[in-house]
Amino acid sequence: MSIISLIIKREFIAKVRNKSFIVMTFLSPLLFVGIAAFVGYLSTMKADTKPIAIHDETGLFANEFLSLNKKDAEYRYSDLTLIDINFLKDSITKENYEGLIYIPKVSNNKDLENKIQFISNESPSLSFIENVQDIIGRKLTKENFNKAHLDTLAIKNAESKVVVNLAKASGEKSLKGLNEIKIAIGGAFGYLIMMFIIIYGNMVMRSVIEEKTNRIVEIIISSVKPFQLMMGKIIGTSLAGLLQFFIWAILGFLFMIVASTFLGIDASPTAKIPPSVIKEVHQEFGGMAQMYVRELWGLPIFTILFSFVIYFIGGYFLYSSFYASIGAAVDSETDSQQFLLPIIMPLVLAVYIGFFTVINDPHGTIATVFSMIPLTSPIVMLMRIPFGVPWWQIAVSVTILFGTFFFVVWFAAKIYRVGILMYGKKPTWKEMYKWLKY
Amino acid sequence: MSTILEVNKVVKKYGDFVALNEVSLTVPKGSIYGLLGPNGAGKTSLIRIINQITMPDSGEIILDGEKLSPKHIQNIGYLPEERGLYKTMKVGEQCLYLAQMKGLSKAEAKKQLEYWFERLEIQGWWNKKIQELSKGMAQKVQFVVCVLHKPKLLIFDEPFSGFDPVNANVIKDEILELQKQGSTIIFSTHRMESVEELCDHIALIHKSNKLIEGKLDDVKRQFRTNSFEVGILSDNVEGLMYDITQKFKMGQTNFKSLNNELKLEIQLGNATPNELLNILVQRGQVTHFMEKIPSVADIFIQSVTENSKI
């Protein structure tokens, strides 16, 4: 067995046997499902009803709000126009009201546009204010129409609403909401890569620090080249990461099967509805679902999974060589913080670019450029792939990524070689630059 | 006696700092070679270069007639001063791993391990983790790792530190046994009494330069001052003193003896021991007469202080 494969084997076994690996592999999917369920449960819970007072001196709007009072509504409106406004302003929060909508008396409706106040102790939510503006604005428009003796019904009928249907050039009907699904898939994989890089990069770093503080590194370096040791470590750890990913993929697959079985059982309550309705619903709903499924299958799933593995390996190799050289340079994990920041920043940047730029314009300049820059490409490109990326762009991006990796590894190996034999010093960036020339 | 290791004008710099300045050494085959020097002299740098952990900036190393290259890793065993093993790995697995790294096959490594574990009476440790062992026990494991691929050249950096006297003796005997079987041992230590006891050759490195090298006896001869320790029982001490100081320099000294005699150290200069003896026997009963041979510690301290200005 060659020496490097010996090192890979040892690192792999050391990682996989570690209790935290086992716990993380089997517990984190559970945790993930648990958190998702918990968030889902929270979102179904009703918020407390918030009482809102209205002081409407025009008498036009109070009823518009009161008509919104329903049992489970978030806000309950009370008309307190009869009470003196100055008194209301002082006492409104003491009386457990969330806030007061104050609509003053004006001679001209036009003046109302910027005279209305909302008085409260805590600033209200944006959507609430927008809603209030909307209600008053609509009512005011209607009043204005009436004053001008316009037929509001005719106007309403004349208003038209347009829905643009999405279709592909190939002629298939496309579905709305698919972009969201695509970004969700791309985002999930991009995020996964970031997590893997940080978690496993840290593992590489910790294992380098461990060897260094153990001083075993001197024995090992007398048998192998530092470069071999570093590569063996990086590859061994990445194999542990891939194993974990495959376990998760299998668990996810099993979970999907179980979940779909449960959902199938869930459909039974429809039995009470007359068959004709069911048929109709089925045709419409089933047709839609089928189309979504077909669209999802139409996604380049193979390309996504394949490029996930490629980009994971490339990105992970690139970043973990940084992690390895940092581990070699410092004496303990606490000293590593200052060097870690510049590593984590591009990763975070990539995720932000993914979620803000790729969603708006998957093939725009920013998205394309960042899917070529090796420090961000593993994440940004993976987020772009569900939207369909020309193969040559992927090829260029992967080539740049691996090219950079070889350059960085050469550079990291130099720091590593010097760093692992340096004890007791907390290095500076300047010193690490000097090591490159040793 | 042929040479196993030749270090030829090796220079190593770290930035502006010169760690080794054209150091040359010749280590004879089958010797126990003491590599001495104060802290920071450059010993560890040299040992690391011999182990190919770092490369020299210039100069060359010849191992057994060949220029040092990665294939020679198998021929060298190294016990670093700073000991360390993987704490969470089991002893057996760890030794196998490290032995395979030195080029042994798994089966051969296992065979050798069984031999050594039995020899050092540590058979029961195979499935223990290093973190469960005491420091001295871990040192024993490390010693095994260092020697089990039967290297031609063994480099021990402070091999006895951390051992109790019993185990230190066990290790010392093993070192001597390895020498008997034909290994050459380079031995770096600050414990001068073990150098006296074990080494037949020494080299002294100080401030990146080699100061002394050679057979221990030759070095001692070089440092002898031709002075003698004398013990004498005399009735007429004043007369004795007068006679001696006429011809020689004299000082007080101390050595162990059971008599209550006068203990003197006398510098002979160019005279022969017999000239001194003639004077002594006329004045009293000589109980002790011995050349004062410089100890390694004396040589060490003397050369280091003399050369401290380099």
Confidence (pLDDT) at A297: 61
The pLDDT > 90 percentage for chain A reads 3
Asked if pLDDT for residue A267 goes beyond 50, the answer is no
Nearest by CB to A219, which of B15, B88, B145? B145
Nearest by CB to B82, which of A10, A215, A222? A215
Asked if pLDDT for residue A170 goes beyond 70, the answer is no
Specify whether the CB–CB gap between B103 and B149 falls below 8 A.
yes
Q: Compare all CA atoms of chain B with the CA of A420 and give the residue at the minimum distance.
A: B53
Contact check, Cβ <8 Å, B53/A221: yes
pLDDT tens for residues B264-287? 888 888 888 888 888 888 888 888
Confidence (pLDDT) at B33: 92
Region B202-226: what's the mean pLDDT?
Answer: 88
Domain boundaries, chain B: 3-221, 225-292
- Please give, rounded to a whole number of angstroms, the shortest distance from the CA of A251 to a CA of chain B: 30
Question: What's the CATH code, domain A50-158?
Answer: 3.40.190.10
Closest Cα to residue B63, out of B78, B50, B44? B50
**Class (C level, CATH) for B3-221:** alpha beta
- Please give, rounded to a whole number of angstroms, the shortest distance from the CA of A205 to a CA of chain B: 15
Contact check, Cβ <8 Å, B101/A218: no
> For chain B, how long is the longest CA-to-CA vector?
77
Q: Compare all CA atoms of chain B with the CA of A5 and give the residue at the minimum distance.
A: B101
Closest Cα to residue A119, out of A89, A94, A95, A91? A89
CA torsion A25→A27→A28→A30, rounded to 10°?
A: 130
Q: What integer best gives the mean pLDDT of chain B?
A: 86
Domain boundaries, chain A: 50-158, 173-435
For residues A405 and A395, what is the distance between their CA atoms, to the nearest angstrom? 15
Task: Specify the higher pLDDT residue, B31 or A278.
Answer: B31
Task: Specify the higher pLDDT residue, A261 or A368.
Answer: A368
For residues B76 and B53, what is the distance between their CA atoms, to the nearest angstrom? 12
Asked if pLDDT for residue A327 goes beyond 90, the answer is no
pLDDT tens for residues A173-187? 555 566 677 777 778
Q: Compare all CA atoms of chain A with the CA of B94 and give the residue at the minimum distance.
A: A10
Task: Specify the higher pLDDT residue, A232 or A88.
Answer: A232
Neighbours of B68 (CB within 10 A): 23
For residues B111 and A43, what is the distance between their CA atoms, to the nearest angstrom? 65
Confidence (pLDDT) at A128: 85
For residues B239 and B255, what is the distance between their CA atoms, to the nearest angstrom? 23
Region A82-91: what's the mean pLDDT?
Answer: 81
pLDDT tens for residues A106-134? 777 777 778 888 888 777 888 888 888 88
For residues B254 and B261, what is the distance between their CA atoms, to the nearest angstrom? 10
Instruction: Name the pairing type of β-strands B153-157 and B76-79.
Output: parallel
Cβ-Cβ contacts under 8 Å, B88 against chain A = 14
For residues A66 and A116, what is the distance between their CA atoms, to the nearest angstrom? 18
Contact check, Cβ <8 Å, A215/B14: no
**A46 Cβ contact partners less than 8 Å away, ≥ 6 residues apart:** A72
Nearest by CB to B84, which of A14, A216, A224? A216
- Phi then psi for B235, rounded to 5 degrees? -85, -30
Asked if pLDDT for residue A231 goes beyond 70, the answer is yes
Whether residue B201 lies within 8 A of chain A, CB to CB, comes out as no
pLDDT tens for residues B127-166? 888 888 888 888 888 899 889 888 999 999 888 888 888 8
Region B117-129: what's the mean pLDDT?
Answer: 87
For residues A304 and A384, what is the distance between their CA atoms, to the nearest angstrom? 10
Question: What's the CATH code, domain B225-292?
Answer: 3.30.70
- Please give, rounded to a whole number of angstroms, the shortest distance from the CA of B119 to a CA of chain A: 23
Closest Cα to residue A213, out of B82, B128, B143? B82
Confidence (pLDDT) at A331: 80
Contact check, Cβ <8 Å, B97/A14: no
Size of interface A-B (CB pairs under 8 A): 62
Q: Confidence band (pLDDT; 50, 70, 90) for B310?
A: low
| DSSP conformation letters of A124-137 | PPHHHHHHHHHHHH
Report in angstroms the alpha-carbon separations of A377 from A371, A384, A394, A397.
4, 10, 10, 7
Cβ-Cβ contacts under 8 Å, A438 against chain B = 14-15
Residue B176's H or E segment, with its range, is: helix B165-180
Asked if pLDDT for residue B250 goes beyond 70, the answer is yes
Residue recorded with tokens 């542990």? A240
pLDDT tens for residues A337-387? 888 888 889 988 888 888 888 777 878 888 888 888 888 888 888 888 888
pLDDT tens for residues B173-200? 999 999 999 899 998 988 888 888 889 9
Task: Specify the higher pLDDT residue, B243 or A427.
Answer: B243
